[in-house]
């Protein structure tokens, strides 16, 4: 029998900054995965059974089956902005609050979107591999010629906060024309602030020199870029995905890159990651990074601290900072400190 605890019990499913763990332990009884083992879904469910809250990392599937096994659970706090690991409706019905970590990563992620765009358009990693392999023996006028970035047209699909931060960099820093496509059009003031013009998806794909994907993952956005969409892009264009795996059909993209139907791609996220489609590994005109768009120490720490703010806010004071499904949340989630 576990001794009854006066403090909420929290599970941290991955290793985290020591100062974040320390802050959690000041308020909660914490079980943490300090050695960063890969816990299976079954193991997470088992460890969550007696917990009131969880600090999650955007990877743990929180759905009806898991919730049925965790009667005391009241909140899952993702330290990521993405929350496609949550079945928010099932959580709402069960009275479990989901929270994410928006805003604190916006500018850092936009920086990385631009880094990936530059590396892809200007063939940075491909040329570095060439140099490291000892193949650079002489200068040639066309060697590793890439695509122009300044003054070109950037098409952004998904114009949330990160999309807007990328648009500002493009328009004001690089003199690019920015077109965007989004579920809903931005208001005129925001459009002017981002110097971005709303267009249909097809027009965007046909006219952009660089296409940047920043759309959240959902059933609706699955394979936003499949073979048909890739076929609309200019053969000289590049595609950048910093959103989520599954937004792009990776097999179709690898074929388009191999056949030079588009010039190049930069990918930070993959379908089924950390596995990467072998056909992508086989082509040289793609820059591949392991889901690091928000990875600076300051930003990752701020993301984790926001998740902690959500746990403290909700479990100790009844109000989370960035709730996702507070509207109509069922009764079980009535916060309590025990």
Active site residues: 244, 273, 291
- Does 158 participate in binding ligand DGY (rule CB under 6 A)? no
Q: How far is the CB of 219 from ligand DGY (least distance, A)?
A: 18
Q: Which is nearer to ligand DGY, 81 or 116 (CB)?
A: 81
Q: Which stretch binds ligand DGY (CB under 6 A): 15-23, 76-84, 120-128, 129-137?
A: 76-84
Residues in a beta bridge with 32: 12
Specify the residue, 171 or 295, whose C-beta has the smaller distance to ligand DGY.
295
Question: Considering the rule CB under 6 A, would residue 98 count as an interface residue with ligand DGY?
Answer: no
* Residue nearer to ligand DGY on the CB measure, 13 or 294: 294
- With CA atoms as reference, report the closest residue to 338 among 316, 321, 317: 316
Indicate whether 294 belongs to the interface with ligand DGY (CB under 6 A): yes
- For CA atoms 288, 156, 88, 73, give the dihedral sign: positive
DSSP assignments along 277-321, one per residue: -HHHHT-SSEEE--S-TT--HHHHHHHHHHHHHHHHHHHHHS--S
> Sheet holding 53-56: strands in order across?
29-32, 9-12, 53-56, 75-78, 97-99
Does position 105 interact with ligand DGY (CB under 6 A)? The reply is yes
Please give the helix or strand (H or E) that residue 56 lies within, else none: strand 53-56
CA dist., res. 52 & res. 12, Å (int): 12
Binding span for ligand DGY by CB under 6 A among 38-46, 78-86, 116-124, 330-338: 78-86
Q: Counting contacts by CB under 6 A, is residue 20 touching ligand DGY?
A: no
Q: Which long-range contacts (CB under 8 A, 24 or more apart) does 169-173 make?
A: 169/110, 169/111, 169/114, 170/114, 171/195, 171/196
Site for ligand DGY contains 299 (CB under 6 A): no
Q: How far is the CB of 291 from ligand DGY (least distance, A)?
A: 6
Terminal C-alpha separation, the chain: 17
Count residues contacting ligand DGY (CB under 6 A)?
A: 6
The answer to whether 163 contacts ligand DGY (rule: CB under 6 A) is no
Residue 81 contacts ligand DGY per CB under 6 A: yes
- Minimum distance between the CB of residue 294 and ligand DGY, rounded to whole angstroms? 5
Question: 8, 53, 82, 323: which one contacts ligand DGY (CB under 6 A)?
Answer: 82
Residue in the block written with tokens 């122009």: 148
CB of 176 to ligand DGY, least distance (A): 24
- Tell me the per-residue interface mask from 244 to 283 with ligand DGY, x by CB under 6 A, - otherwise: ----------------------------------------
Q: Which two tokens stand for residue 194?
A: 């981002």
Considering only 13, 32, 80, 224, the residue that binds ligand DGY (CB under 6 A) is 80
- Interacting stretch for ligand DGY, rule CB under 6 A, among 80-88, 135-143, 255-263, 329-337? 80-88
What Å distances lie between residue 59 and 56, 122, 220, 252, CA to CA? 7, 32, 19, 25
CA 92: distance to chain centroid? 23
Cis peptide bond upstream of 35, omega within 30: no
Least distance (Å) from ligand DGY to the CB of residue 99? 12
Report, in Å, the least distance between residue 21 CB and ligand DGY: 19
Neighbours of 33 (CB within 10 A): 18
Task: Determine if 58 is a binding residue for ligand DGY (CB under 6 A).
Answer: yes
| Minimum separation from the CB atom of position 297 to ligand DGY (A) | 14
Nearer to ligand DGY, 82 or 323 (CB): 82
Q: Return the structure tokens found at 87.
A: 């079945």
Residues near ligand DGY (CB under 6 A): 58, 80-82, 105, 294
């Amino acid at each position: 029998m576990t001794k009854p605890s006066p403090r909420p019990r929290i599970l941290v499913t991955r290793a985290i900054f020591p100062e974040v763990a320390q802050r959690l332990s000041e308020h909660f009884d914490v079980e943490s995965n300090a050695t960063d083992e890969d816990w299976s879904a079954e193991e997470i469910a088992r460890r969550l059974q007696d917990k009131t809250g969880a600090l999650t990392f955007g990877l743990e599937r929180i759905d009806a089956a898991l919730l049925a096994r965790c009667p005391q659970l009241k909140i899952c706090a993702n330290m990521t902005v993405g929350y496609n690991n949550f079945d928010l409706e099932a959580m709402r019905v069960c009275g479990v609050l989901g929270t994410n970590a928006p805003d604190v990563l916006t500018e850092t992620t936009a920086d990385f979107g631009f880094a990936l765009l530059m590396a892809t358009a200007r063939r940075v990693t491909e040329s570095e591999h060439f140099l490291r392999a000892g193949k650079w023996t002489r200068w040639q006028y066309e060697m590793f010629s890439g695509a122009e970035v300044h003054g070109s047209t950037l098409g952004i699909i998904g114009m949330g906060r990160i999309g807007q931060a990328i648009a500002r960099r493009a328009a004001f820093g690089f003199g690019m024309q920015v077109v965007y496509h989004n579920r809903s059009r931005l208001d005129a003031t925001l459009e002017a602030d981002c110097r971005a013009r709303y267009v249909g998806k097809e027009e965007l794909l046909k006219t952009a020199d660089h296409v940047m994907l920043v759309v959240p993952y959902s059933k609706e956005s699955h394979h936003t870029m499949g073979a048909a969409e890739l076929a609309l892009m200019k053969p000289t264009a590049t595609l950048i995905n910093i959103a989520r795996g599954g937004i792009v059909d990776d097999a179709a993209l690898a074929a388009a890159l191999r056949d030079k139907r588009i010039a190049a791609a930069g990918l930070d996220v993959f379908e089924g990651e950390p596995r990467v489609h072998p056909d992508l590994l086989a082509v040289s005109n793609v820059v591949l990074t392991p889901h690091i768009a928000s990875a600076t120490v300051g930003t990752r720490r701020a993301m984790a601290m926001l998740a902690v703010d959500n746990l403290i806010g909700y479990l100790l004071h009844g109000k989370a900072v960035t709730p996702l499904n507070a509207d109509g949340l069922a009764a079980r989630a009535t916060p309590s400190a025990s």
